[in-house]
Amino acid sequence: MRISLLVNNFPPEIGSAADLFYQLALAFSRIGHIVKVFTTEPRYYNLSGSKKIEASLLRRWNNKVWKIETIRNIHVYRVRLLPLIYPRSGENLFFRELEHALQPLAFSAFIHYLTSSDVILVYSPPLLLGYLGVLLGKLLGIPVIVNVQDIHPDAIVNLGLLKNKFLISLFENIERQMYKYASAITVHSDGNREIVIKHGAEPKKVFTIFNACYVPSPELLSGGILFRKKFSLEGKFVVTYAGIMSFSQDLDTIIKAAKLLSGKDEDIIFLLVGSGPRRHELEILSKEAGVRNIIFLPFQEGEDYWYLLAASDVCLVSLKKSNVKAVVPRKLEDVMAAGRPVIANVPLNGDVSKLIAKARCGIVVEPELPSKLAEAVQKMKSIPKGIRERYGYFGRKYAIENFSLQAIARSYESLFNMLVH
């Protein structure tokens, strides 16, 4: 089968969308399908590594409008965005949203290469990319599945990032049209499925398929010892947040909780690892507050990422109160796959809380309450190591049974076959 994937970003860019669709593309290719990925040029604000590496990646473009490359038997088609916009979108929310608004125009350049597809899988958000995907599918007579991760415009409205009533109404209409014209819609939780149906999608078209995650081997996880030595963390109780530092996470609370614990227990160290539009602001907040027990690290790639998780005594998952309660951050699945206990400061009635309770892999506290988070960290440190390891064991077991890449790829393959035949 000829499968085309449309996604906002793709390796070497980092982030949940890039990693998820890269892993799916590899899995589809291994099964025997022909896979094409349609995405954007690598944007410097979404890259890890040294500035020299980032600059060299960008210089390859010269004045090309698009570029075609092959990554492990995956044909990757990249389109260039407006150069005056994307350099600013890493730190400026207005330019980030402008980039998302103009993306469909850039992706329209791919229409010729999409004509040979048997099926199209498109990642949303951005909402307009999902909408473009279904329109192209209608135009070309190709089935389109929209993988809805965050429900827009709800997510940005709830965060207070979109307040204009006209724009809210416009995007809500686009959302309904996307659901109407999609051949199928996949979501990563039952809570998301309920919301999508409530927003107008036909129930028979909406399928819950968990996000796939890589399950590391015990040998790979043994590298956590080396990570602790590298960063002088021996003898410390390591509390880690690893991921994008953006507007939907309750990261201020983590810094305030670290401040509360800094004078009480010198053995507790917080690692804030990753990048994103709020990282610089959070570093300033931490410095101004005089927090001494936080270490900021860059995004860890490949094996180093799993070494980081394995080196952690507990890992954090964080969402603001205002966030859509059906959101399940990809990092939770990674933490579970690594066999680490979880502390989540997230909405108590959301899908994250339900998943943690079902998997029996950690503790949930109400978001935006630093004292509650600090208490949860102290509790996790004080309980016997065997109980912490049991949290990790149950989380890893659940991940193997429900999130493995092979199982998720087969679920998508069954859906593709249903739509194509």
The full DSSP string for 233-281 is -TT-EEEEEES---SSS-HHHHHHHHHHHHTT-TTEEEEEE---TTHHH
Instruction: Please check whether residues 263 and 411 belong to one and the same domain.
Output: no
The pLDDT of residue 388: 95
State phi, psi for 50 to the nearest 5 degrees. Answer: -75, 160
Q: How many domains does the chain contain in total?
A: 2
Strand order across the beta sheet in which 34-40 lies: 66-71, 74-79, 34-40, 2-6, 119-124, 144-148, 184-187, 206-208
pLDDT greater than 70 at residue 49: no
Instruction: Please check whether residues 8 and 112 belong to one and the same domain.
Output: yes
Instruction: Please check whether residues 409 and 278 belong to one and the same domain.
Output: no
pLDDT in tens, 290-328: 999 999 999 898 899 999 999 999 999 999 987 656 678
Q: Which residue do the tokens 């600013």 mark?
A: 88
Instruction: Please check whether residues 105 and 247 belong to one and the same domain.
Output: no
Instruction: Please check whether residues 145 and 280 belong to one and the same domain.
Output: no
Query: What is the Cα–Cα distance from 284 to 230, expressed in whole angstroms?
Result: 25
The pLDDT of residue 57: 57
Instruction: Please check whether residues 236 and 205 belong to one and the same domain.
Output: no
The pLDDT of residue 80: 76
Instruction: Please check whether residues 111 and 46 belong to one and the same domain.
Output: yes
Highest-confidence range of 275-284, 296-305, 387-396, by mean pLDDT? 387-396
Residue 146 contacts by C-beta under 8 Å, 6 or more apart in sequence? Answer: 122, 124, 130, 133, 134, 178, 179, 182, 184, 185, 186
The pLDDT of residue 92: 55
pTM of the model: 0.74
Q: What tokens appear for 269 in the block?
A: 């160290």
State phi, psi for 160 to the nearest 5 degrees. Answer: 75, 15
Query: What is the Cα–Cα distance from 271 to 340, expressed in whole angstroms?
Result: 15
Instruction: Please check whether residues 183 and 71 belong to one and the same domain.
Output: yes
The pLDDT of residue 339: 97
Question: Tell me, what CATH number does 382's domain have?
Answer: 3.40.50.2000
Triad 82, 159, 305: Cα angle to 5°:
70
Instruction: Please check whether residues 100 and 194 belong to one and the same domain.
Output: yes
Q: What's the domain range around 113? A: 2-211+404-420
**Under 8 Å between Cβ of 153 and 175:** yes
| Closest to 252 measured CA to CA, from 211, 215, 283 | 283
Instruction: Please check whether residues 260 and 361 belong to one and the same domain.
Output: yes
The pLDDT of residue 27: 92
Instruction: Please check whether residues 352 and 411 belong to one and the same domain.
Output: no
DSSP 8-class letter at 403: T
- DSSP string of 324-359? -TT---HHHHHHHHTT--EEEES-TTSHHHHHHHHH
> For residue 38, which amino acid is it?
F
pLDDT greater than 50 at residue 419: yes
The pLDDT of residue 288: 93
> For residue 56, which amino acid is it?
S
The pLDDT of residue 385: 92
Instruction: Please check whether residues 232 and 264 belong to one and the same domain.
Output: yes
pLDDT band at 168 (very low <50, low <70, confident <90, very high): confident
